[in-house]
Chain A
Amino acid sequence: MPFTAHDLRYNLQENFPKLCAYLQQRAKHWLGTFAYDSDEVDGVVEHIIEQLTRLGLLGGGNHTPETALDHLNNAQFYAFLNRSVKNKAIDRLRRHRLPTSSLSAFEDPRNIEEENDPLNTVTDSIWGSPPFPSPESAALQAASQEALRILIKHCIEELSSAPRQLLAVIQELDEMGIEDLVQELKDTYHTQLADMELSHLSQHKDHAHKKLRHCLQHSSTNLAVLVSLRLTEYGHYSTDIDEISVDIKTLVDERISAAEVLKGLNHLARVGLLDWHGEENIRLTSVQLKHLARFYEEGE
Chain B
Amino acid sequence: MNKHNNGLSDIRNEYLPLAQWLQNILTTTPQLPQAELATNKENVSQFGDEYHVSYYRQLPDFAHALLNNATQEDIIRFGPLVFHLIGCPSCHLAYLEIYDAMHSTIGLEEEHTSTSPLPESIATTSTRVLVFMCQLLINQAAEVLRDARYEYSENDAWARSLLQQAIYLSRHLMQSTQRQRALQDLVKVASFFEDSTTPSAHSYLPVISTGSGSRQGKIRRRADTLGRSDGQTAIYLQSGLSKYEGSITQNQDILELHLEDLGQELRGQFLIISIPFGSLLEPVRWIGGNPRAIRSQVPVGEDGSLATPLGSTDLQLSNPEDHNLLEATFTKLDIRPAD
Contact = CB atoms under 8 A, between A and B. Distances in A.
Contact of B95 (A49, A76, A135, A149): A135
Given A59-B137, A131-B66, A263-B151, A297 B104 contact: no
B17 A177 contact: yes
A140 interface: yes
Given A59-B162, A144-B18, A272-B30, A18 B60 contact: no
Contacts, number: 283
Interface of A: 2-3, 12-14, 16-18, 20-22, 24-25, 38, 41-43, 45-47, 49-51, 53-56, 58-59, 61, 63-65, 67-69, 72-84, 87-88, 126-132, 134-136, 138-145, 148-149, 152, 172-173, 176-178, 180-181, 209, 212-213, 216, 222, 259, 262-263, 266, 269-273, 278, 288, 291, 294-299
B338 interface: no
B83 A298 contact: yes
Interface of B: 4-5, 8, 11-23, 25-28, 30-31, 37-40, 44, 51-54, 56-61, 63-64, 66-67, 70, 72, 75-76, 78-80, 82-88, 92, 94-105, 108-113, 115-116, 118-122, 124-126, 128-129, 132-133, 136-137, 140, 150-152, 155, 157-158, 161-162, 165, 168-169
Contacts of B63: 68
Contacts of B95: 135
A37 B268 CA distance: 61
Contacts of B58: 67
B69 to A, nearest CB: 8
A127 B124 contact: no
Given A49-B133, A76-B105, A152-B18, A17 B72 contact: no
A292 to B, nearest CB: 9
Interface of A is mostly: helix
A294 to B, nearest CB: 4
B131 to A, nearest CB: 10
30 contacts: A16-B122, A16-B133, A38-B126, A42-B126, A46-B40, A47-B40, A49-B136, A51-B94, A51-B98, A54-B53, A59-B165, A63-B158, A73-B108, A73-B113, A78-B113, A79-B101, A80-B104, A80-B105, A87-B97, A131-B4, A143-B23, A144-B18, A144-B19, A152-B22, A178-B17, A270-B54, A294-B25, A297-B79, A297-B80, A299-B79
